[in-house]
């Protein structure tokens, strides 16, 4: 059953975002939240209050100049039963009152679930927190809007039911790739609520980075230096032959193309099975291949690197978003099903979904072959990406328009219904020709 929303012009918004402060910084999560806060503030008529969720609310409030409340406690639960019990308790207004997140939702006019991939059994704490906000909003008959979501792909049955509940209460469900759109439809999302969009951060305006590594030469705007921006997450333990192969192949291509290597970490917290951070991995690879490491992780640094680079190579998702938005050729290296869904979705928005190589397949010089072809066809692919910029900008304008309309805030006029370049349906998009892409 769909929730009927009370008419509202939102003056207090709660924005759920995966923000965690400087010690657990994540470029992509920060970038999406920043883009959404900018869109909301651009439509503000003077008295809008925004409260965001964060693992470090003091730092986040200062960084984003807004109110912030801590996460609700699901991250410290010991297993599924505790998460379910906490959800039931906090969903009750009487029992949940006094929890900062619940109190914020009880005083809000609308709830926004900012872009990300948290509706996934891989991160149940975030999934439960978003369901909690959806329940409070549904009980109070205030709008719930989800933007820039990857849904799943891994959903245990109990989590699938919770996601169905959340999506069913939403007046906007923005998804950023076809896989998520299909799953949303399977979960019963109303067609009037479902919206296919590009990533929330696609329209983030570029700002120069705080600093560059000593010795790295970016050139000048008139004569930029050629460099390859490389983002790697902890895909292997220290000393693993895979990392040595990756770094060696990058060095070969860099030498052949006369390009510097600039390693751009995305996350600074140590995590995953190898308890390593992007910073750890990139320093190891830079020591093997030469090049520089741009740290600490920062939205401005990551966006600048992806958009000023000659080529981008990444196992993470948002460098693909940043690069394609600026017309920079990019090779995605997905490492699992989740990253493949996201990165191929971002490449698919510009008709270049074939330009990827699984991390498991980088050996035997396949990475060097793939990058070599990308480099040789640089002009062709950059020209194609230049033609797609208007398409991405239209997607982003429509996303912001629908978000603001759902909140009762002033909205820009929709684009006129004219025919435009749509890279997703063009049969002439550049496709790889090399053996590396044929398995």
221 or 97, higher pLDDT: 97
Peptide bond into 153 cis (omega under 30): yes
Q: List, for residues 60-118, the tens digit of each pLDDT value.
A: 999 999 999 999 999 999 999 999 999 999 999 889 889 999 999 999 999 999 999 99
pLDDT at position 7, please? Answer: 45
Mean pLDDT, residues 248-254: 97
Distance CA 278, CA 230 (A): 11
219 or 105, higher pLDDT: 105
Distance CA 274, CA 374 (A): 31
CB distance 281 to 311 below 8 Å? no
% of the chain surpassing 70 pLDDT: 97
Please name each of the domains of the chain with its CATH number.
12-197 (3.40.50), 227-384+428-438 (3.40.50.2000)
CA atoms within a 13 Å half-sphere pointing along the CA-CB vector of 184: 30
pLDDT at position 409, please? Answer: 87
Q: List, for residues 168-212, the tens digit of each pLDDT value.
A: 999 999 999 999 999 999 999 999 999 999 999 999 998 889 999
pLDDT at position 418, please? Answer: 67
**What is the band of 6 on the pLDDT scale with cuts at 50, 70, 90?**
very low
pLDDT reading at 14 higher than 50: yes
pLDDT at position 173, please? Answer: 98
Distance CA 101, CA 51 (A): 9
Distance CA 287, CA 397 (A): 43
Q: Residue 230 forms beta bridges with which residues?
A: 263, 313
Q: List, for residues 272-289, the tens digit of each pLDDT value.
A: 889 999 999 999 999 999
The mean-pLDDT minimum among 116-130, 254-268, 384-398, 404-418 falls in 404-418
Identify the sign of the CA torsion 13, 14, 17, 19: positive
Q: List, for residues 28-46, the tens digit of each pLDDT value.
A: 999 999 999 999 999 877 7
Distance CA 401, CA 404 (A): 5
pLDDT reading at 1 higher than 60: no
pLDDT at position 114, please? Answer: 97
Q: What's this model's pTM, rounded to 2 decimal places? A: 0.95
Identify the residue whose tokens are 């906007």: 172
* 333 CB neighbour count, 10 Å cutoff: 26
pLDDT at position 364, please? Answer: 86
pLDDT at position 416, please? Answer: 77
Tell me the Cα Rg of the chain: 22
165 or 273, higher pLDDT: 165
pLDDT at position 2, please? Answer: 44
pLDDT at position 415, please? Answer: 79
């Amino acid at each position: 059953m769909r929730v009927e929303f009370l008419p509202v012009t939102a003056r207090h918004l709660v924005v759920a975002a995966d923000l965690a402060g400087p010690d657990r910084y994540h470029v992509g999560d920060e970038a999406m939240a920043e883009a959404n806060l900018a869109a909301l503030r651009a439509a503000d008529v003077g008295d809008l209050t925004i409260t965001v969720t964060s693992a470090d609310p003091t730092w986040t409030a200062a960084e984003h100049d807004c109110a912030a409340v801590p996460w609700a406690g699901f991250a410290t639960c010991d297993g599924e039963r505790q998460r379910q019990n906490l959800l039931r308790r906090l969903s009750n207004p009487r029992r949940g009152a006094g929890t900062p997140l619940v109190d914020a939702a009880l005083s809000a006019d609308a709830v926004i679930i900012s872009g990300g991939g948290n509706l996934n059994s891989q991160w149940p704490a975030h999934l439960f927190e978003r369901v909690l906000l959806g329940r409070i909003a549904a009980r109070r008959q205030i709008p719930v809007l989800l933007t820039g979501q990857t849904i799943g792909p891994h959903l245990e049955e109990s989590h699938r039911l919770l996601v169905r509940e959340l999506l069913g209460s939403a007046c906007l469900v923005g998804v950023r790739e076809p896989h998520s759109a299909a799953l949303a439809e399977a979960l019963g999302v109303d067609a009037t609520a479902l919206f296919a969009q590009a990533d929330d951060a696609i329209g983030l305006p570029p700002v120069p980075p705080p600093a560059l590594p000593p010795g790295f030469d970016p050139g000048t705007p008139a004569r930029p230096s050629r460099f390859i921006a490389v983002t790697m997450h902890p895909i292997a333990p220290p000393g693993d032959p895979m990392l040595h192969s990756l770094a060696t192949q990058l060095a070969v291509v860099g030498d052949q193309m006369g390009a510097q290597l600039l390693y751009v970490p995305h996350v600074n917290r140590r995590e995953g099975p190898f308890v390593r951070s992007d910073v750890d991995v990139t320093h190891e690879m830079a020591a093997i291949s030469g090049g520089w490491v741009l740290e600490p992780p920062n939205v401005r640094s990551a966006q600048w690197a992806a958009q000023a680079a000659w080529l981008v190579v990444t196992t993470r998702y948002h460098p693909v978003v940043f690069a394609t938005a600026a017309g920079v050729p990019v090779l995605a290296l997905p490492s699992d099903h989740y990253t493949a869904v996201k990165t191929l979705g971002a490449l698919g928005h510009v008709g270049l979904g074939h330009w990827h190589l699984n991390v498991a397949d980088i050996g035997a010089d396949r990475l060097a072959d793939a990058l070599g072809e990308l480099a040789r066809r640089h002009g062709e692919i950059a020209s194609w990406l230049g033609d797609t910029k208007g398409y991405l900008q239209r997607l982003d304008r429509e996303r912001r328009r629908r978000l603001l309309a759902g909140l009762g805030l002033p909205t820009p006029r929709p684009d006129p219904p004219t025919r435009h370049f749509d890279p997703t349906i063009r049969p002439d998009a550049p496709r790889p020709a090399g053996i590396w892409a044929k398995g």
